[in-house]
Chain A
Amino acid sequence: MQQPNQLGAHEMMEVHELLNFKTISTAKAKAIDGLVTDKDLKALMQQDLQQSMQALHDLQALLTRSYAQ
Chain B
Amino acid sequence: MTDPNTNANPNMDRPLDIEDFTNMIGFANASAALEFLLTVKSSIRNTAISLTECATPQVRTVVHNLLFQALDMHEKLSQLMINKGWLHPYNPGEQFQLDLKSAQMTANIAQMPLFKDRTKVLETFDTPQNPN
Contact = CB atoms under 8 A, between A and B. Distances in A.
B80 A44 contact: yes
B11 interface: no
B55 A41 contact: no
Contacts of B53: 10-11, 14
A interface secondary structure, majority: helix
Interface of B: 25, 28-29, 31-33, 35-36, 39-40, 42-43, 46-47, 50, 53-59, 62-63, 65-66, 69, 73, 76-77, 80, 84
A25 B55 contact: no
B62 A58 contact: yes
Q: Contact size class for A? A: 20 to 34
Q: Which of A14, A32, A45, A47 has the most CB of B within 10 A?
A: A14
Contacts, number: 84
B interface secondary structure, majority: helix
Interface of A: 4, 6-8, 10-11, 14-15, 17-18, 21, 25, 28-29, 32, 35-38, 40-41, 44-45, 47-48, 51, 55, 58-59, 62
